[in-house]
Chains A and B, each alone.
Chain A
Amino acid sequence: MQVDALIGSRCASQRSEAAVDIVSLNKWYGTFHVLRDVDLRVEPGQQIVICGPSGSGKSTLIRCINQLERHQRGQIFIHGCEVSPKTRALHELRRDVGMVFQHFNLFPHLTVLQNCTLALRRARGIARQEAEDVARHYLERVRIPEQMGKYPSQLSGGQQQRVAIARALCMRPKVMLFDEPTSALDPEMINEVLDVMIELARDGMTMLCVTHEMGFARKVADSIVFMDGGRIVEQAPPLEFFANPQNERTRTFLGQIL
């Protein structure tokens, strides 16, 4: 109750209506400057794909949004609420931001169903029966309802990643962050995960995806962000981005991966 009031007051000074608004973000790892004056605005319902060479800061950028990484300068707003290393009720803000990791990070000691209900029950305080109904709904959406009683290690990589997506969706997040969701998968499993993500995008979920799947980017992205050396070098809608990249480094990058 008190915490709600706290968040309410902090968000009262709403800076913008954007789902995610990143303003001149800077981050250092020791002396290494990973993010340099990054500005990025994501409207509700938009899908943004972030790409770039490894070490360009793209994972760090989306990990700053839910503060798995702390930034040193600049601001991040999620639906008008500022998230910063000083944010008190960080765990409450994170409930509205789903995240899917490269290595799935499912809980190996829990079944697929328990993986999905854990946070619903413990963070949202929802009763078991109701939580299981929600979990079943999302497991059906990612097309693995029949695996509910299994443990993560009994599933294939693609299945595990779809469970991880369902687990995040169960919290009914306002924004979904994907950190290279298909990079750890065998090639034949990539599409089953991408199909789920495409459906999610079509349903209007606000998404930020770090990925090198340019086919996916072409299909769903409202905007593609290219990062290099900790900066956003170029940002454009897919058609423009692929047909007419403005920056030399973007051209080199596209030349290498397409």
Chain B
Amino acid sequence: MSFVDILIGIFDGFGVTASVTLWGMAYAVPFALVFGILQHFTTGPVRFAVTSIIEFWRSSPVIVLLFVFYYTLPTIGITLSGITVAAMALGLNIGGYGSQAVRAALQSLDPGQVEAGKALGLRRIQILMLIELPQAFKAMTPTFINQFIQLIKGTALVSLITLTDMTFRAKEISQLQYDPVGTYTALLVAYFIVCYPATIFGRWVEKRVAISERTQGEI
């Protein structure tokens, strides 16, 4: 089996890697937004509860989350598909980090922005949607793209709950071919091929954000 054949064999698992990543984002982005905003606005016991949920997802090792949800939930009668468990565990873990970017972006805004919105007679929710979030998104975007790349790489773990992703395929091939060196090198190349475009896209977005800030700074 040539290097290219191995690579093609590994890419059989691309579908699973991609769907875990995309479903993972479907969990991560809403979680990050909702919990980041809640952490920004709440105080006292509610804030403690919000922080606890964020910290649970953020501070647990993903591999442990995967095992817990994949192997123990069925014992209490909840059976979820491998993809669902993988997307949830990886997505909410990344979402936990993302929520901190959301909160930090909201907190770093000039309080005068909210005051101006209030003075104009806007409701608090309108101030959030029309004034705070549009400005915070700009600050959040680079972090979100980095976490998207983290998520792609994180999906390698799902091979441990029997999903046939790129890593799982590599294990299969290496066992069939007795060529761990060639196979895992090919696997590295495979992840590079998937992640590098995302990195380039991230750099492009970061530059765009920087440029729009610079031109706005000119008088």
- Say which one of B16-24, B76-84, B121-129, B164-172 lies at the interface with A: B121-129
Main secondary structure, interface of B, reads helix
Q: Select B216's contact among A92, A108, A123, beta carbons within 8 Å.
A: A108
A105 and B121 contacting across the interface, CB-CB below 8 Å:
no
Can you spell out 30 A-B residue pairs with CB atoms less than 8 angstroms apart? Answer: A68-B115, A68-B118, A68-B119, A91-B118, A91-B122, A92-B121, A93-B121, A94-B120, A95-B121, A99-B116, A99-B119, A101-B119, A105-B115, A107-B116, A107-B131, A109-B134, A109-B135, A118-B122, A118-B130, A119-B120, A122-B130, A123-B121, A151-B216, A153-B216, A153-B217, A153-B218, A154-B216, A154-B218, A156-B219, A168-B119
Count class of interface residues, chain B: 20 to 34
Residues on B with beta carbons closer than 8 Å to the beta carbon of A106: 116
User: Given A107-B113, A109-B135, is A91 in contact with B121 using a C-beta cutoff of 8 Å?
Assistant: yes
User: Given A154-B219, A156-B219, is A122 in contact with B113 using a C-beta cutoff of 8 Å?
Assistant: no
B112 and A103 contacting across the interface, CB-CB below 8 Å:
yes
A211 vs chain B, min Cβ distance (A): 18
A39-83 residues at the B interface, CB under 8 angstroms: 66, 68
Residues on A with beta carbons closer than 8 Å to the beta carbon of B131: 107
- Contacts from A to B (Cβ < 8 Å): 66, 68, 91-99, 101, 103, 105-109, 118-119, 122-123, 151, 153-156, 167-168, 171
B214 vs chain A, min Cβ distance (A): 10
Name which residue of chain A comes closest to B112, CB basis: A105
B117-158 residues at the A interface, CB under 8 angstroms: 118-124, 126, 130-131, 134-135, 138
